[in-house]
Structure 1
């Protein structure tokens, strides 16, 4: 049976073009709950909306994930009507709930979840969510092809968000699955996926040794690619993945070349050199 708590790592960054960070995230491993929320509505209002979403889900302990997300939609609407934040503020959300060997991912907007499964031949990356966006509607209707999505000028126009005053209820989509060994689930705002395509995400995940190192590498890569928006991401590891002693040791080896053998050789050479220097000084 899987362990009750899952290993995870998370990070958020304002990016290189914005002064404020409207994203937020929540990690509650003791309750098997993680989320990423991407606020919108201008300076301060976006932060307020995403924080309301986070805090509302924190309070909805006995609700289903869909019910909790609907409650967060109502909470954002109520706050705006009472002068908290600003009219028109809103937020996306992507949330993961894990219980035993089962997991559920639910979302509204264009924040995404991916399932990464490690295999020796390069791994497998599967997008679990489907954006609530104008471009996704065009793709579904056949008006554009897959190759036109990433470069489309209206890529960031979303059709659903928490706090939309035009909707009494939002459309909360969800997927369910069973954890397998050597899997991670990635939750992220569009600040990550606007900078890194699925192929680059898969490459970086494959060459990472732990959720912590993967989060660090993904964030750095997104910033190097432009960092045009706030960037938030979380990686949650399957409860069936128990790191070996060698795996734990690998986490302490510095990432230099991105190749384990080369990194270990460089790290070993550095340690040997240090020991020789210490020996020479001690003589």
Structure 2
């Protein structure tokens, strides 16, 4: 698989300041140009297992270089994880599931897949674009004009998901595709981060610091604000690939 962009990526997760176990999972594969963040639900081992099932399913994909075929394979992997988690929950008599946000880059194309309220952002030209829309009860209320966007984070139903991998037998996965550009910075993260850092501050950090430093700063700032939830983030930066230009052959006899 060839790429017209040079990619640099980093990922990190932390249990947070309150919880004793980490139900988040992430997978970073610069070799395959796939990056994933998943946030489990169901409590303790169940949520952790569900999130790991999602990242494990996606980690089995080996891109072919055919963008459309690879996108179908990614979607199929998420649907496969949904079936695995749902069937396990049915057998155990419990409900468990996971969010997922996954980024795939091939050449100048990117595809983004998500279910739940883990988010993806794109910083381009100094402007932060939120690429995902939360699959949550509160976001549905915002969309219908029932509550103001600024009241969403503090709403008592803020953590109630409308859609999650493994919660139901059927699943709808949202997907967008577009072109990536040199200078693009992608951020994938669980809601443990976005519940503590507003978009304006995320934009400032991504624009002002290197990718590794920005990741460390985002995690540290979340913890400074008493992170009641697990926090996970992955940053992917794109720059123009170095091109080798052959020098003209010089004529004349060699000494």
- Report the TM-score, using the length of structure 2 for normalisation: 0.86
Residue of structure 2 in register with 1:72 after alignment: 81
Residue of structure 1 in register with 2:36 after alignment: 35
Q: Which of the pair has more CA radius of gyration?
A: 1
Q: Is the 8 A contact 1:179 1:240 kept in 2?
A: no
Q: CA deviation at 1:206?
A: 1.8
Q: Is the 8 A contact 1:36 1:111 kept in 2?
A: yes
Q: CA deviation at 1:78?
A: 2.8
Structure number with higher helix proportion: 1
Residue of structure 1 in register with 2:52 after alignment: 51
Find out whether 1:14 has 2:15 as its counterpart.
yes
Q: Is the 8 A contact 1:5 1:32 kept in 2?
A: no
Question: For residues 187 and 241 of structure 2, what CA distance do their matches in structure 1 show?
Answer: 15
Question: For residues 131 and 185 of structure 1, what CA distance do their matches in structure 2 show?
Answer: 17
Residue of structure 1 in register with 2:240 after alignment: 240
Find out whether 1:94 has 2:95 as its counterpart.
no
Question: For residues 83 and 3 of structure 2, what CA distance do their matches in structure 1 show?
Answer: 35
- Counterparts of residues 105-116 of structure 1 (less than 5 Å): 105-116=112-123
- Which sections of structure 1, spanning at least 5 residues, go unmatched? 243-283
Q: Deviations over 1:48-106 (max 9, x none)?
A: 111111111122446432222111111212333455xx721110000001101000111
Q: CA deviation at 1:5?
A: 5.8
Q: Is the 8 A contact 1:5 1:30 kept in 2?
A: no
Residue of structure 2 in register with 1:225 after alignment: 225
Question: For residues 113 and 160 of structure 1, what CA distance do their matches in structure 2 show?
Answer: 16
The SS at the match of 2:7 is coil
- Report the TM-score, using the length of structure 1 for normalisation: 0.78
Q: Is the 8 A contact 1:6 1:237 kept in 2?
A: yes
Structure number with higher strand proportion: 2
- Which sections of structure 2, spanning at least 5 residues, go unmatched? 63-69, 243-255
Question: For residues 59 and 5 of structure 1, what CA distance do their matches in structure 2 show?
Answer: 23
RMSD: 1.8
The SS at the match of 1:131 is coil
Residue of structure 2 in register with 1:140 after alignment: 143
The SS at the match of 1:16 is coil
Question: For residues 79 and 229 of structure 2, what CA distance do their matches in structure 1 show?
Answer: 26
Taking a change above 3 Å as real, the CA distance of residues 239 and 203 of structure 1, as seen in their structure-2 partners, is closer
Q: Is the 8 A contact 1:2 1:240 kept in 2?
A: no
Find out whether 1:24 has 2:25 as its counterpart.
yes
Residue of structure 2 in register with 1:195 after alignment: 196
Q: Is the 8 A contact 2:5 2:241 kept in 1?
A: no
Question: For residues 160 and 19 of structure 2, what CA distance do their matches in structure 1 show?
Answer: 19
Question: For residues 171 and 240 of structure 1, what CA distance do their matches in structure 2 show?
Answer: 35
Residue correspondences, number: 233
Identify which of 160, 163, 181 aligns with 2:163.
160
Question: For residues 102 and 24 of structure 2, what CA distance do their matches in structure 1 show?
Answer: 14
